[in-house]
Copies of this chain bind each other. A is one copy, B any other.
């Protein structure tokens, strides 16, 4: 067997194994009424700033925690800890995505109390995370106005597997000469009907709409699972 066909075979086994674990995680999250949101984007799109604002705004009314994946540093966990909710780092080494096993291991004995929301920030990458189900209820893909309007067409799988798209750094839209209509058309071209929200973690624009959106989704989730 060639190296390539052996790699395909082993990859298929890895994916199957991940899917089994992810399904078990999803059942567990449903049983415990935890609404799980994963966030993917390229490096530097503003995932961590967006998540820090989200955690800070939710923490007074809900029990909230976050897992954050990164290759090498604990910088993101340190930043998210400023939101004063439980945060745990998953350091992936050279692996370009989180998988269900990493999420399951991180949840052993953590967090200390019951949760309403768990946020999972993936490694910054628009390719690798798309194939790995983490058992989440909502998969959020984030792109910033400085990345260009064509990203959905160039990375269709990550947009196609997402449940909601967030356009971030909207305060830089004019400086970056960002064409919002074109970006939205490109997102809809690869994932017709997906909700698209615009935010700036810096100015706060759009964050109320995002919180309303995620709370409404969680209420629907709880209505069917509890």
- Per-residue B-contact encoding for A176-192, CB less than 8 Å = 1, 0 else: 10000000000000000
> Taking the complex as formed, is A220 at the interface, i.e. its CB lies under 8 A from any CB of chain B?
no
Contacting chain B: which of A105-113, A152-160, A209-217?
A152-160
**Are B151 and A172 closer than 8 Å at their CB atoms?**
no
> Taking the complex as formed, is A208 at the interface, i.e. its CB lies under 8 A from any CB of chain B?
no
Once bound together, how far apart are the Cα atoms of A75 and B156, in whole Å? 13
Please name all residues of chain B whose beta carbon is closer than 8 Å to the beta carbon of A143 when the two chains form the complex: 44
**Are B157 and A71 closer than 8 Å at their CB atoms?**
yes
**Are A43 and B154 closer than 8 Å at their CB atoms?**
yes
Other than the given A43-B151, A71-B157, 14 more pairs (CB < 8 A) read A3-B17, A7-B10, A7-B11, A42-B44, A42-B126, A43-B147, A44-B147, A44-B151, A72-B153, A73-B154, A75-B150, A96-B96, A125-B125, A125-B128
> What are the 3 closest A-B residue pairs judged by CB atoms, nearest first?
A44-B147, A96-B127, A146-B146
